[in-house]
Structure 1
Amino acid sequence: MIFNIAAVLKSIQIFTWDVNYLAELASRKSRFSSRPNLYRQLPHSKLIPPLVARKQRYLHRLGMPLRLLLRLAHLGVIFGPAFLLVAPICALSPGRKRPLLHGIMYWCLQRAGATFIKLGQWASTRPDILSPELCRVLCELNSRAPAHSMTWNRHVFRSEFGVELEQIFRDFDCNPSGSGTVAQVHRAWLRKSGLEVAVKICHPNIEEHIERDLRLMKIMAEVAHSIPLFRNFNLPEEVGYFSQMMRQQLNLRHEAYALDHFSRNFSYWKNVHVPVPVYQFVSTHILTETFATGTAISAFSCDSLEESLTDPEKEVWTLAKTQIATIGLQSFLQMLLWDNFVHADLHPGNIFVRFVNKRGKVYWSDRPSKELVHLIAQEDLIPQLVYLDTGLVTQLSRKDFQNFNDLFKALVLHGDGYRAGQLIIERCPPQHRSRIVDPDGFCRSMDTIVQPIFRNVSLKLKSFAIAPIIFQVFDLVRDHRVHLDGSFTNLVMSFGCVEGLGRQLSPDLNLLPFLASAALQYLVTNVAFKLDQIRDNAALVVMVSKHWRESFHLPTLTLLSTIEQYLAKHSTTSQGDSLERERLCHVRNGGDVPKGQL
């Protein structure tokens, strides 16, 4: 009976939207049926006259309260009975309370629609708010959605570009290669150039449905915030952050910009590939990009292939997996510390692996196989990572990036957990700082977590797990009611995902060289570029290249303190210092930096 009511309410919602849509199409047809052909060929989105548009907006505003009430009733039918039924069970068996509540939450979100599935997936990346157990449950939410028809695809192309789909593409695969909550992807070939592309098209009415749900979430967050029990969660701010993220995903121009940004950032990397948008056929609801092939990176963590390999083949395969893990960590640090433009959705489905030879020819297979291992050995192939689905990115503001850099310096350069805790508290907004419980205890606990990490000279992934440390820090954040910015949390969780993939691929990989490389990037970007003249960096470049090989064997802090002292000493050098000029000329001519200068 409950599900019949939900189905009826859903049908009323769909009928309400369909009536509005049919009225819009009828108004277009009646208004412009007598116009010249040239006028009719313009994009449909530009054909709505001002008077009709005003009437439609007025009717839309009148219908919005009704749609909100119907949607609220629909959600009440889904969430209400489930929690009413589970309450007595929790009271009778307290030991099963948490797993049962988590399972009910998963079930309800999965059936509440695209927005709530996305909400659950986003909440799974916020262990500073929710428990790790609930985050692990929510990250399993399935974002696959039913595919829409080719009729809608043709309508969108006609509406956005004013031409038929067949005029743009020589061949268009009617069966989507993937369908998510917001859009679905088709494989196609451009008619003029023959270029193979992936075409991403938004689902029908997805904007209206998500905007309606976001309005409801905002109302419910305001109501919950007025209750003292939920005030510490700061729900209105978190819902605002989630709404901004969802609206960004609804406009595919944002994803095209992110693809273009990433492809330019990695244009000099032979080991990283990012598809390029075809801007001629990019709009709010359509994204056309170059088609990228590859194997999902999760397939390379399977051990079944290694069991069938000989010892020489195992060596080749182990080296290839180590290279894949290395490229993943290096490229993430490039996004984080150098570009300040980070892919915020780095789950295994968005990272492909393929192999290229010296001439740039691409090799890949549906899954790793013995034949692929033989090709790697015979053709001297190197792995290449392909980053897909860049709809979610994290880019810190100048202030937030400086805060992150200061925190990075306290943790990596100095290994000072207490100072890191102080920085987190000091940089909190004033309205959140007053709610923190026992700030000094938070700083001491941070130091307790950080100190054991930097006692290890070798940080191998098999004996050093970052994910548990991240969850320990987030447990502290929740216990002491410390506010963390959502973008910062996403950065930390993205690094945890990359580190987890690296652990599966190459457990013997040592993190120390990556920390040294990251710290060098930090110093170069934040200290060296403050020098007055570019020529002042010459000595630094020589010194870094001289000590680079040794950095893989030295403790991180020794190398970094040496470089930091060197930069501090030479950052105040005057432009007219003749001795400095002589030293730089000596360096340019191939001489070493004098020992007394280091």
Structure 2
Amino acid sequence: MRYLARLLVIVWTIRRFGLDDMALAAFSGRRFRWLRTVLSLGRRWREPRGVRLRLALERLGPIFVKFGQVLSTRRDLLPPDIAIELAKLQDDVPPFDAAHSRQLIEQAFGRSIEQLFETFDAEPVASASIAQVHFATLKGGREVAVKVLRPGMLDVIDDDIALLRTLASWVERLSADGRRLKPREVVAEFDTYLHDELDLVREAANAAQLRRNMDGLNLVMVPEMIWELCTQDVIVMERMSGVPISQLQRLVEAGVDIPKLARDGVTIFFTQVFRDGFFHADMHPGNIQVSLAPSTFGRYIALDFGIIGTLNETDKDYLAQNFVAFFQRDYKRVAQLHIESGWVPAETRVDELESAVRAVCEPHFDRPLKDISLGQVLMRLFQASRRFNVEIQPQLVLLQKTLLNVEGLGRQLDPELDLWATAKPFLERWMDEQIGARALLNQVKKEAPRYAQLLPELPRLLHEVLKRQSQPQDSALVQALLHEQRRTNRLLQAVIYGGLGFVLGLVAMRFYASL
């Protein structure tokens, strides 16, 4: 009954804001015009369609707001009036009561606001689907941002996820194509990430990890967490000062190199994905600012780390090889990789898949983003994946969503950006570090502590083996000793070869350093 009530709320909201009329307006057939006329009887809307869509998504809750946030980055796919309204979902969702926010903070820390902070701004500076942010000053004068979780989010998300799970089950039962898309697994991944976002301590830990990973890149800044003031419902972090990346005119007037900013964004994304396997997966413009401070001028400022994507080494390797093959236009290798990874059935003919991939990708190389129709690319990719029974990889759903965000952001910053040319050098360098000379050097450095532990044990192990061989033993014990001897010999060989590799690695390091 609880889920049924939620479904009725969704249906009522769709009708209340005329979203059904908006959906039917996309169809031009006579029957659809007739149906639209019937459904619109007695309904008149004062607000424009973009406003109605935004209000409906806000009313329906976090999952729908996040869907609107993703759409808002795709101005190439949306009419301008809708894109402008959906952009307000990035950091301008109606806030909850300031007195309630104050109460939640005091409950979380067991102290009054006056005891916690020197100053506290009751008016939130930003409000999103999951939480809102207030500026404050700690005792001692340090400026901070206080993030407070919206109350009642868990029940709403659980109800919506339950509905999505039921819908996914129906899709899998009724459609063979639906089973290929693995909707239940995709919903399960979505469920995990949304519940993770409700734990602000987890978000703080994500921010700390990303801050360490990005240290030294000098392209992006991540706020420092104030750990003694971090709980599941409230976290306090370093206050970051910057201009929202959506305010392009302000950035241009301040002298920011916008094309460089677009290229830096691509570099940050590929670094997080392929070097670290740990990436910010909610990169809509509301979570990204640009610093104008003299010491960090032109650097990105990343905010909101509730949704973080991770990749294991296998996925990173296959993805990187796919990207490199794409950039080299080696479509046969792309087809082979899809078969090797199990993303398409093993009996798929390589030449047929190669031809399909070439037909999708070749028309879009060496062209700036402004000349690429993403809608057409997605349509042809869907047709090809359906033909070859390509299975959706649920663990890559967040990566795909983030890639759409990055591509949409790049399109807004610099329509002349060549995404392929910008990313290719980075991926080729990464592949060299994975399988080339640098990879060998990095592996030797990684294994050096292990070799340092094994080397002192070798004399004792050899002495024990020789001592046992000099004594008469029964056959079973002899076999055991022989096995131990063989194991020791292999260990000795590994250490010797490892030592040689370590020495060669040091020589290689000196060689690289001299270049």
Using the size of structure 2 for normalisation, the TM-score is: 0.71
DSSP 3-state at the match of 1:140: helix
Give 1:169 deviation, angstroms.
Answer: 1.0
Partner of 1:476: 383
Q: What are the ranges of 5 or more consecutive residues in structure 1 without an aligned counterpart?
A: 1-64, 307-315, 363-381, 537-572, 593-598
Q: Which amino acid aligns with 1:340?
A: G
1:253, 1:289 → 2: CA distance?
A: 12
Provide, for residues 401-453 of structure 1, a one-character-per-residue CA deviation record: whole Å limited to 9, x for no partner: 232133234323x4222331343354346xx849x999864432212334456
Q: Does 1:498 align with 2:401?
A: no
Give 1:529's aligned residue: 439
Alignment of 1:111-260 (within 5 A): 113-118=60-65, 120-121=67-68, 124=71, 140=86, 143=89, 144-191=92-139, 193-228=140-175, 231-232=178-179, 233-260=181-208
Please state how far the C-alpha of 1:168 moved relative to its aligned partner. Answer: 0.8
Write out per-residue CA displacement over residues 374-427 of structure 1, whole angstroms, 9 at most, x where no aligned residue. Answer: xxxxxxxx4121111222221112332232133234323x42223313433543
Distance in 1, Cα, partners of 2:24 & 2:142: 60
8 Å contact 1:184–1:201 — kept in the other structure?
Answer: yes
Aligned residue among 295, 310, 313 for 2:243: 295
Shift of 1:188: 0.7
SS state of the match for residue 119, structure 2?
Answer: strand
Match of 2:310 in 1: 395
Instruction: Output aligned runs, 1:244-323, within 5 Å.
Output: 244-300=192-248, 317=255, 320-323=257-260
Contact 1:115 1:210 in 2 (8 A): yes
Mapped to 2, the partners of 1:581 and 1:80 lie a distance apart of 68
1:468 Cα shift? 6.1
Determine if contact 1:196/1:291 at 8 Å carries over to the other structure: yes
1:453-492 residue pairs with structure 2 within 5 A? 459=366, 461=368, 465=372, 467=374, 471=378, 474-477=381-384, 479-480=386-387, 481-492=389-400
Q: What is the rounded CA distance, in whole Å, between the counterparts of 1:231 and 1:512 in structure 2?
A: 35
1:331 corresponds to: 268
Answer yes or no: is the 8 Å Cα contact 2:119–2:137 preserved in 1. Answer: yes
Cα shift readout 1:19-76 (whole Å, capped 9, x = no counterpart): xxxxxxxxxxxxxxxxxxxxxxxxxxxxxxxxxxxxxxxxxxxxxx5x3343233334
Corresponding residue number in structure 2 for 1:375: none
Distance in 1 between residues matched to 2:72 and 2:411, nearest whole Å: 19
Find out whether 1:74 has 2:9 as its counterpart: yes
Q: Hey, what's the Cα distance between the residues in 2 that align with 1:228 and 1:285? A: 41
Q: 1:473 to 1:273 in 2, by over 3 A?
A: farther
Using the TM superposition, give the Cα deviation of residue 257 of structure 1 relative to its aligned residue in structure 2, in angstroms. 1.4
Change in 2 beyond 3 A, CA 1:189/1:409: same
Give the direction of change, closer, same or farther, for the CA distance of 1:416–1:97 in structure 2 (3 Å limit).
Answer: farther
Counterpart of 2:178, as a letter, is R
Q: State the alpha-carbon separation in 1 of the partners of residues 35 and 312 from structure 2.
A: 38
> Relative to structure 1, is the Cα distance of residues 428 and 254 closer, same or farther in structure 2, using a 3 angstrom cutoff?
farther
Q: Name 1:8's counterpart in structure 2.
A: none
- Distance in structure 1 (CA, Å) of the matches to 2:177 and 2:265: 39
Q: Out of 354, 370, 391, which is 2:291 matched to?
A: 354
Q: Give SS of 2:247's match.
A: helix
1:342-389 CA deviation, whole Å, 9 max, x = no partner? 1112222222112343xx3x6xxxxxxxxxxxxxxxxxxx41211112
> Identity rate of aligned residues, in percent?
21
Provide the secondary structure at the position in 1 that maps to 2:237. Answer: strand
Aligned-pair CA distance for 1:484: 2.6
Q: Aligned partner of 2:338: which letter?
A: I
Kindly tell me: are residues 216 and 533 of structure 1, through their superposed partners in 2, closer, same or farther at Cα, counting changes over 3 Å? closer
CA distance in 2, matches of 1:535, 1:495: 31
| Matching residue within 587, 591, 596 for 2:511 | 587
Task: Find 2:356's aligned residue among 445, 468, 472.
Answer: 445
CA 1:70/1:195 → structure 2, altered by over 3 Å: closer, same or farther?
A: same
Cα distance change, pair 166–439 in 1 and its aligned pair in 2 (3 A): farther
Q: Is contact 1:117-1:142 (8 Å) kept?
A: no
2-structure distance, mates of 1:577, 1:204: 57
TM-score (norm 1): 0.62
Find the aligned partners of 2:318 and 2:399 in 1 and give their Cα distance.
13
Q: 1:417 aligns with which of 312, 328, 331?
A: 331
- Partner SS, residue 225 of structure 2: coil
Q: Is the 8 A contact 2:274 2:316 kept in 1?
A: no
Structure 1 residue matching 2:270: 3-state secondary structure: helix
Letter aligned with residue 77 of structure 1? W
Tell me by how many angstroms 1:235 deviates. Answer: 2.8
Q: Distance in 1 between matches of 2:55 and 2:509?
A: 70
Q: Is the 8 A contact 1:417 1:450 kept in 2?
A: no
CA contact (8 A) 1:110 1:141 kept: no
Is the contact made by 2:126 and 2:132 (CA closer than 8 Å) also made in structure 1? Answer: yes
Tell me which residue corresponds to 2:465: none
Taking structure 1 as reference, are residues 145 and 254 closer, same or farther at Cα in structure 2, changes over 3 Å only? same
Bigger shift: 92-101 or 438-447? Answer: 92-101
